Structure 1
């Protein structure tokens, strides 16, 4: 990769690629990176995250692959994180769903990132990430997500605007569209 990403993010992304490769070798579909880690990837670490949210229909296989990479479940008082942590990484990993954005995202748009020599990581399309952020914004519980969506759009002006418009409308119950992202 490049110096575009903060070192701990790149290290975690490489681990994610190794876990993905292990799952593929076992005959499972690759897990897909979503949430804040996908935002960090698409923003070149301009927006940072504290964990890797993952979608996979094979949570047990994914978690076994994490254990093989040295991950453990946090335990003891004060631990509310339900995912997995690695002693050397500063980012946790957690399966957040078995279905990609409730089946609304187009799986054919999932982006594959090759991280030699570690493997390939599957990441939700930037259009779907923007739509997801807009859905969270529209819910009224996460006003900061509007700014994340704006940043992603500004960094990816060549994305599929027709698809993005449709996805934002789906995620926001037709309350918002691309026009909402105008500064």
Structure 2
């Protein structure tokens, strides 16, 4: 994990430990999505301030508490997520189903953290499609550039699958050709 900024690499290690804690309890581990997945796949070219995950919320939050995470409180603090005292990154459950069931769970990838623990993350094709969907909504114009960066950095993408997923996420308005500059 040496290609990443130090605080992100440290957060990945803790996330992997929490993931293995859940797996050891027979609970499906969380799946990393959003900005943290974009940072992971881009080698910290894209940076994030939080870790969004798909997980069973009660189990994930219990695992976070067991590993020293706290819910921030007080004036000016957001209370949706959790933080670890040693990290500057927050963790938050954003759903229980990966991309509303449209993503192929067989494509979820397993990563090894530097501490030897493992964690799951969204497939790059689905992450790019999600970025394109956010762009197409008009609410996040910067997501087109993120999708293009991820597309340019990713290897061995399944372009047929990604085309279908981008079309699903964008109401058929965009496709793989929109990623090419």
**Residue of structure 1 aligned with 2:67, choices 66, 69, 89:** 69
What's the counterpart of residue 23 of structure 1? 22
Normalised to the residue count of structure 1, the TM-score between the two structures is: 0.96
C-alpha distance in structure 2 between counterparts of 1:158 and 1:31, whole Å: 24
**Residue of structure 2 aligned with 1:178, choices 146, 168, 176:** 176
**Cα deviation digits, residues 72-102 of structure 1 (max 9, x gap):** 0011111124100111101000000001000
C-alpha distance in structure 2 between counterparts of 1:157 and 1:6, whole Å: 21
C-alpha distance in structure 2 between counterparts of 1:81 and 1:144, whole Å: 26
5+ residue gaps, structure 2, are none
5+ residue gaps, structure 1, are none
Distance change in 2, residues 1:43/1:116 (3 Å): closer
Matches within 5 A, 1:8-87: 8-56=7-55, 58-87=56-85
Worse-matched range after superposition: 18-27 or 72-81: 72-81
What's the counterpart of residue 141 of structure 1? 139
SS in 1 for 2:72: coil
Normalised to the residue count of structure 2, the TM-score between the two structures is: 0.97
Deviation at 1:117, TM superposition (A): 3.5
What's the counterpart of residue 102 of structure 2? 104
C-alpha distance in structure 2 between counterparts of 1:182 and 1:173, whole Å: 19
Decide whether the 8 Å contact of 2:73 with 2:79 is kept in 1. no
